[in-house]
């Protein structure tokens, strides 16, 4: 017998499972012109160079090539960027990384575009480049942005609490370590894409695979001197985003193409190689850490310096580093902290937002030192974490008092009681020949929302349609995390409609800047929290309104006597009811609409530190997680196999268990890839892993059956008590796997990813085998 | 060049360029459920069944479709009448962004046609040429195994994939 799982599947699941769902390019009209960027750096082996000229003559001779545009054709500032506008739409004077575009080709077809791009020639004189942040900060280093006041230092910042220097001097135990974490490619399955058309009334109508349609209008408007309110952006379901579609990818280039297409529709779709070449990456970070504690393991002080390589442009580099710094001491009580951060321009690929936003980079360092401390003090590593774990009311490492929900201790208790942990010694001892086994763990957290200084806002619009169904005007793009389905579920619960019986009772309109109300981006673990809260308000207003309107038709003089029921308003006392279809006809269109808005609360009395940050410091809400990994290491090849992986997560109250587990498993999977096999390589700023045959991500054979445990917390400010759960899962695997590897081999690897070559070198350094943890 | 083939049970005639890729022709013919993720045979998003065999349509020329029977995800089933594999994907949470999903279900259909009772490792092997960046694959494997049990227990031994598309 086929057993149906009890809750109905995600609202978008069946349409996607049958291939019926439409993504951006599926909506593109057949008669679209094709636009593409010419990025000559990679072919010329130049990551930093002066643009002496672009020869378009051969390209323009290609049949079907309509226009070749260069920087001279760009109206406006020709600068894009979410916060810091430093990235040209088309480079006119200098290319600062190998993927910088110097021309835009507009052609009749994809084929003529390809030929046109191949026929373009650019004369680029190589300039000395900087490819390492330390080298970039040296006196006389070539400058990536000569006009930037700080030279190659995009931002230097400090978070301080207490007196870390004195506390470390007096600490009975001190551990130190240097770590490095690599760049990471988002590798969403749908590459960056969109299509656009300039309408006769002057409106630029765009459909884009984007995480921030409302903000995109302003970024495009600034770059191209367009009125942002004459740009309409639609964002259908994305084929993945993970941060890499936050901020302009195709947007400005596509808009420029449409402005030059005489009213014809234009499409742009990056090929996979272009996506890897020009797309944003996770920042590579170098970390230097010192941690001091009492002999009983009570943490006293942390001092660290983080160096983020933001590549050629700022993108969200300052904000990514801010979040990393805010999480630098881990989810622990640390009375004294001194956290320094430097975000540095280089001629490497552009780094930007990526799930785990700066925090995935610091977690291997703080957890690495927690293991070192446990080893030095002969303490159980789980006990040490439990002892120092943040509790409600504690002050975190930036000095914010946690008035929000905190359930890290419960996450650790879940691990402590789990058979994968309690049976670890017997399991490890049973390692097959030429194999070592190890068990590791990590405690992590991740802030939710934009932080102070930037309104984390959403406005939800809800309509009772003429057909008597509810329509949610979703303002926050769904890149796959299921927020749209969560909105349908929240609305159905609040409006007492049954999606199981009638999946059409609540319908969804995906973001459209013309029809939906403005809301922030799909990012920062904020999506379901902020928009969900706004939507609940809209639903409450709708329920009140419908009861009041139905009272008239049902001859009832008190709305309290009425109930909103599936498909109708009921008067239980008399058994009379009014179908929503009838009620909808009774109301005028503008009377069938309710709007709710929500602004995320921020930390009150923020600590007087981190003054260098323009926005985003500090955060008030955090999700927490504890991860456990059991691995086997092949002594002959250095290959690490993840046998078991367990993620216990505090994401507040669980709204939909399946969606919750999806986030935990998906985040952990990307984290395992980041930790073990995603070695994004550059040499002199040139990408060596240029396609999916070398830029690897985990396949189904590289991952175990990742287990997800939910700690059922409750965040009082969250919609139905939930918190954002999308990001925290990425932060645990790297430290948990490094911990397991140390348990297996006795060596702590501090440079990621933990490739077979590195593991083998560590094994060879340390024969015969020794175990530090008995 | 003119060619004809069967697309999801319907005979289609098309005019294709000699160097046209199958994925482009299929999408031009309206088979928008066929996705392209890399164009170089690395990601599996463009998976289709050609005479019941799992193939990547970005690596096939349109000409290679002549006379063949093509099944895309939409040919397995629809929202109104989903194939058990598709229903299992939806019910077991195997779908997140969904961009890899049509190709994944094709890989699953090819597996179940040749191995009606796959182990979890069999399922993992069968989808190992199809990348998914969202799920970590756990729920996809759950779905494939659940669909297998449903199909093997169904009266009359319903078989998935191309066999029932003839």
A624 and A683 housed in the same domain: yes
B121 and B154 housed in the same domain: yes
A259 and A342 housed in the same domain: no
A226 and A354 housed in the same domain: no
A649 and A567 housed in the same domain: no
Q: Which pLDDT score, from 0 to 100, does residue A8 have?
A: 82
What count of Cα atoms within 13 Å lies in the side-chain half-sphere of residue A321?
A: 33
Nearest CB among B86, B90, B131 relative to A189 is that of B131
A188 contacts B99? CB cut-off 8 A: yes
Q: Which pLDDT score, from 0 to 100, does residue A765 have?
A: 85
B143 and B93 housed in the same domain: yes
A232 and A303 housed in the same domain: no
Asked whether the CA dihedral A56, A60, A65, A70 is positive or negative, the reply is positive
Q: Which pLDDT score, from 0 to 100, does residue B163 have?
A: 43
Q: Which pLDDT score, from 0 to 100, does residue A714 have?
A: 96
B25 and B60 housed in the same domain: yes
| Residue B47, domain CATH | 3.10.20.30
Measured between alpha carbons, how far is B31 from B10 in angstroms, rounded to an integer?
12
B60 to A409, B24, B66, B96, B156: CA distances (angstroms): 54, 10, 11, 28, 35
- Residue A115: give the domain boundaries: 13-127+192-269
A471 and A594 housed in the same domain: yes
Last residue within a domain, chosen from B55, B75, B95: B75
B136 contacts A668? CB cut-off 8 A: yes
B155 and B97 housed in the same domain: yes
Residue of B nearest to A662 (CA): B135
- Chain A residue numbers with beta carbons less than 8 Å from the beta carbon of B38 are 272, 691-692
Phi, psi of A333 (to 5 degrees): -80, 115
Q: Which pLDDT score, from 0 to 100, does residue B162 have?
A: 43
Last residue within a domain, chosen from A240, A269, A298: A269
End-to-end CA distance of chain A: 48
Phi, psi of A560 (to 5 degrees): -65, -20
A375 and A479 housed in the same domain: no
A474 and A529 housed in the same domain: yes
| Residue B108, domain CATH | 1.10.150.120
| A372-A375-A377-A381 Cα dihedral, nearest 10 degrees | 90
Q: Is residue A621 part of a domain?
A: yes
- Low-confidence residues of chain A, pLDDT below 50? 1-5, 770, 772-774
Q: Is residue A445 part of a domain?
A: yes
ipTM: 0.97
A665 contacts B92? CB cut-off 8 A: no
A445 and A462 housed in the same domain: no
DSSP letter string over B26-89?
HHHTT-TTS--S-SSSSS-TTEEEETTEEEETTSSBGGGGTT-EEE-HHHH--SSS--HHHHHH
Residue in A184, A189, A274 to test binding to B, most B beta-carbons within 10 Å: A189
| Residue A562, domain CATH | 3.30.365.10
B87 and B155 housed in the same domain: yes
A14 contacts B98? CB cut-off 8 A: no
Phi, psi of A207 (to 5 degrees): -125, 120
Q: Is residue A135 part of a domain?
A: no
Nearest CB among A19, A662, A699 relative to B96 is that of A662
- Chain A residue numbers with beta carbons less than 8 Å from the beta carbon of B106 are none
**B88-136 pLDDT tens trace:** 999 999 999 999 999 999 999 999 999 999 999 999 999 999 999 999 9
Query: Is residue B100 within a helix (H) or strand (E), and if so which, with residue range?
Result: none
B138 and B69 housed in the same domain: no
| Residue A21, domain CATH | 3.90.1170.50
**B33-48 pLDDT tens trace:** 999 999 999 999 999 9
Domain count, chain A: 3
- Residue B7: give the domain boundaries: 2-75
Is B98 an 8 Å CB contact of chain A?
Answer: yes
Q: Which pLDDT score, from 0 to 100, does residue A605 have?
A: 87
Q: Is residue A622 part of a domain?
A: yes
Last residue within a domain, chosen from A599, A625, A658: A599
B47 and B84 housed in the same domain: no
A15 contacts B79? CB cut-off 8 A: yes
Last residue within a domain, chosen from B50, B75, B100: B75
**A557-592 pLDDT tens trace:** 999 999 999 999 999 999 999 999 999 999 999 999
Q: Is residue A429 part of a domain?
A: yes
Measured between alpha carbons, how far is A276 from A186 in angstroms, rounded to an integer?
9
B63 and B83 housed in the same domain: no
Last residue within a domain, chosen from A216, A241, A269: A269
SS (H, E, C) A478-546: CCCCCHHHHHHHHHHHHCCCCCCCCHHHEEEECCECCCCCCCCCCCCCCHHHHHHHHHHHHHHHHHHHH
Q: Which pLDDT score, from 0 to 100, does residue A1 have?
A: 38
Measured between alpha carbons, how far is A765 from A747 in angstroms, rounded to an integer?
9
B37 contacts A190? CB cut-off 8 A: yes
Nearest CB among A17, A23, A30 relative to B105 is that of A17
Sheet containing strand A336-345, strands side by side: A153-161, A336-345, A299-311, A284-293, A173-181
Residue of B nearest to A7 (CA): B91
A349 and A236 housed in the same domain: no
Q: Is residue A1 part of a domain?
A: no
Nearest CB among B40, B90, B102 relative to A272 is that of B40
Q: Which pLDDT score, from 0 to 100, does residue A550 have?
A: 96
Q: Which pLDDT score, from 0 to 100, does residue A767 have?
A: 65
How many Cβ atoms from other residues are within 10 Å of residue A766's Cβ? Answer: 12
Q: Is residue A408 part of a domain?
A: yes
Q: Which pLDDT score, from 0 to 100, does residue B154 have?
A: 75
User: What is the overall mean pLDDT for chain B?
Assistant: 94
The alpha carbon of residue B66 is apart from the nearest alpha carbon of chain A, in Å, by 23
Q: Where are the beta strands (DSSP E) in A6-114?
A: 33-38, 49-55, 65-69, 79-80, 87-88, 94-95, 103-107
Measured between alpha carbons, how far is B86 from B82 in angstroms, rounded to an integer?
6
Q: Which pLDDT score, from 0 to 100, does residue A200 have?
A: 98
Measured between alpha carbons, how far is A646 from A705 in angstroms, rounded to an integer?
9
| A419-A420-A421-A424 Cα dihedral, nearest 10 degrees | 110
Which residues, 6 or more positions from A670, have their beta carbon under 8 angstroms from its beta carbon?
A242, A355, A730, B133, B136
The alpha carbon of residue A720 is apart from the nearest alpha carbon of chain B, in Å, by 21
Measured between alpha carbons, how far is A449 from A773 in angstroms, rounded to an integer?
39
Last residue within a domain, chosen from B75, B94, B112: B75
Q: Which pLDDT score, from 0 to 100, does residue A79 have?
A: 98
B100 and B146 housed in the same domain: yes
A705 contacts B138? CB cut-off 8 A: yes
Residue B11: pLDDT over 70: yes
B84 and B159 housed in the same domain: yes
Name the pairing type of β-strands A204-208 and A231-234. parallel
B102 and B142 housed in the same domain: yes
Measured between alpha carbons, how far is A478 from A459 in angstroms, rounded to an integer?
16
A511 and A571 housed in the same domain: yes
A326 and A411 housed in the same domain: yes
Instruction: Tell me the longest C-alpha to C-alpha distance in chain B.
Output: 46
B18 and B59 housed in the same domain: yes
Measured between alpha carbons, how far is A264 from A205 in angstroms, rounded to an integer?
11
Domain count, chain B: 2
Q: Is residue A729 part of a domain?
A: yes
The alpha carbon of residue B33 is apart from the nearest alpha carbon of chain A, in Å, by 5
The alpha carbon of residue B90 is apart from the nearest alpha carbon of chain A, in Å, by 5
């Amino acid at each position: 017998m086929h057993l149906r799982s009890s809750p109905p599947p995600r609202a978008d699941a069946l349409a996607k499972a049958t291939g019926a769902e439409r993504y951006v390019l599926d909506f593109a009209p057949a008669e679209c012109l094709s636009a593409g960027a010419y990025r000559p750096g990679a072919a010329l082996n130049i990551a930093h160079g002066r643009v002496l000229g672009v020869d378009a003559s051969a390209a323009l001779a290609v049949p079907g090539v309509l226009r070749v545009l260069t920087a001279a054709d760009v109206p406006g500032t020709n600068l894009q960027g979410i916060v810091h506008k430093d990235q040209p739409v088309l480079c006119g004077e200098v290319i600062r990384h190998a993927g910088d575009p110097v021309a835009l080709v507009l052609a009749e077809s994809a084929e003529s575009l390809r030929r046109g791009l191949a026929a373009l020639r650019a004369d680029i004189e190589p300039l000395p480049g900087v490819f390492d942040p330390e080298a970039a900060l040296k006196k006389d280093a070539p400058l990536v942005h000569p006009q930037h006041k700080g030279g190659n230092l995009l931002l230097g910042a400090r978070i301080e609490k207490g007196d870390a220097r004195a506390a470390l001097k007096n600490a009975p135990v001190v551990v130190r370590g240097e770590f490095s974490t690599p760049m990471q490619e988002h590798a969403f399955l749908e590459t960056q894409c969109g299509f656009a058309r300039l309408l006769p009334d002057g409106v630029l109508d765009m459909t884009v695979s984007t995480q921030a349609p409302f903000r995109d209008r302003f970024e495009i408007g600034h770059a191209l001197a367009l009125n942002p309110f004459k740009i309409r952006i639609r964002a259908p379901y994305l084929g993945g985003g993970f941060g890499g579609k936050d901020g302009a990818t195709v947007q400005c280039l596509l808009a420029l193409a449409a402005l030059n297409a005489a009213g014809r529709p234009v499409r742009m779709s990056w090929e996979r190689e272009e996506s890897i070449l020009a797309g944003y990456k996770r920042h590579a970070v170098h970390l230097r850490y010192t941690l001091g504690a009492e002999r009983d393991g009570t943490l006293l002080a942390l001092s660290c310096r983080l160096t983020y390589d933001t590549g050629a442009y700022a993108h969200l580099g300052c904000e990514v580093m801010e979040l990393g710094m805010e999480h630098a001491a881990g989810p622990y009580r640390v009375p004294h902290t001194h956290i320094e951060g430097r975000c540095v321009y280089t001629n490497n690929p552009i780094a930007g937002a990526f799930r785990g936003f700066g925090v995935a980079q610091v977690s291997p360092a703080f957890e690495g030192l927690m293991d070192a401390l446990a080893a030095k003090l002969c303490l159980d590593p789980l006990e040490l974490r439990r002892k120092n774990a943040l509790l409600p009311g504690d002050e975190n490492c930036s000095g914010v008092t946690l008035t929000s929900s905190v359930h890290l201790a419960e996450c650790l208790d879940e691990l402590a009681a789990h058979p994968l942990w309690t049976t670890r010694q017997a399991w490890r001892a049973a390692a097959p020949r030429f194999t070592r086994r190890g068990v590791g763990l990590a405690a992590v957290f991740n802030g939710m929302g934009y932080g102070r200084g930037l309104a984390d806002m959403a406005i939800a619009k809800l309509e009772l349609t003429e057909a008597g169904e509810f329509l949610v005007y979703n303002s926050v793009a769904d890149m796959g995390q299921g927020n749209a389905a969560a909105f349908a579920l929240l609305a159905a619960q609040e409006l007492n409609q049954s999606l199981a019986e009638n999946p059409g009772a609540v319908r969804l309109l995906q973001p459209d800047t013309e029809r939906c109300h403005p809301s922030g981006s799909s990012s920062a673990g904020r999506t379901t929290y902020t928009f969900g809260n706004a939507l609940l308000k809209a639903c409450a207003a709708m329920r009140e309104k419908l009861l009041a309107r139905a009272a008239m038709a049902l001859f009832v003089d008190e709305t309290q006597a009425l109930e909103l029921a599936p498909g109708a308003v009921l008067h239980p006392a008399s058994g009379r009811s009014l179908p929503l279809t009838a009620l909808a006809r009774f109301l005028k269109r503008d009377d069938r609409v309710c709007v709710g808005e929500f602004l995320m609360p921020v930390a009150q009395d923020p600590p007087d530190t981190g003054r260098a940050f323009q926005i985003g410091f500090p955060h008030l809400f955090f999700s927490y997680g504890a991860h456990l990994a059991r691995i086997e290491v092949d002594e002959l090849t250095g290959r690490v196999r993840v046998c078991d992986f367990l993620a216990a997560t505090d994401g507040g109250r669980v709204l939909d268990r399946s969606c919750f587990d999806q986030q935990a498993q998906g985040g952990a999977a990307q984290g395992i890839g980041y930790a073990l096999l995603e070695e994004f390589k550059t040499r002199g700023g040139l990408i060596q892993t240029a396609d999916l045959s070398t830029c690897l991500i985990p396949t189904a054979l590289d991952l175990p059956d990742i287990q997800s445990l939910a700690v059922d917390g409750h965040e009082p400010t969250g919609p139905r008590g939930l918190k954002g759960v999308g990001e925290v899962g990425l932060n645990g695997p790297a430290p948990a796997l490094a911990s397991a590897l140390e348990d297996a081999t006795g060596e702590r690897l501090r440079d990621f990813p933990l490739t077979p070559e590195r593991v083998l070198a560590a094994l060879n350094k340390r024969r015969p085998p020794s175990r530090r943890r008995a | 060049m003119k060619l004809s083939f069967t697309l999801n049970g319907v005979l289609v005639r098309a005019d294709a360029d000699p160097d046209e890729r199958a994925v482009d022709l299929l999408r031009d013919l309206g088979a928008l459920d066929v996705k392209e993720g890399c164009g170089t045979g690395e990601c599996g998003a463009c998976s289709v069944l050609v005479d019941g065999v799992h193939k990547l349509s970005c690596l096939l020329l349109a000409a290679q479709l002549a006379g063949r029977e093509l099944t895309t995800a939409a040919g397995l089933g629809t929202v109104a009448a989903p194939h058990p594999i598709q229903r299992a994907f939806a019910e077991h949470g195997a779908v997140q962004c969904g961009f890899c999903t049509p190709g994944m279900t094709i890989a699953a259909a090819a597996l179940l046609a040749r191995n009606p009772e796959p182990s979890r490792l069999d399922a993992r092997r069968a989808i190992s040429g199809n990348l998914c960046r969202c799920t970590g694959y756990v729920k996809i494997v759950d779905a494939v195994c659940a669909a297998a049990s449903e199909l093997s227990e169904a009266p009359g031994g319903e078989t998935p994939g191309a066999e029932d598309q003839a």
